[in-house]
Amino acid sequence: MEDTQGRQTKTFQRVEEMVDDSQYHYKTGRLVDQEARCSREAWAHSIGLSSVVYFELQG
> Mapping DSSP to helix (H, G, I), strand (E, B) and coil, where does residue 18 land?
helix
Question: Tens digit of pLDDT for each residue in 8-20?
Answer: 999 989 999 998 8
Q: What stretches in the chain show pLDDT beneath 70?
A: 1, 59
2 to 6, 7, 8, 9: CA distances (angstroms): 6, 9, 10, 10
Residues 36, 37, 39, CA angle at the centre, nearest 5°? 65
Tell whether pTM > 0.85.
no
Q: Across the chain, how many H-helices and E-strands are there?
A: 1, 0
**Alpha carbon 3 to chain centroid distance?**
40
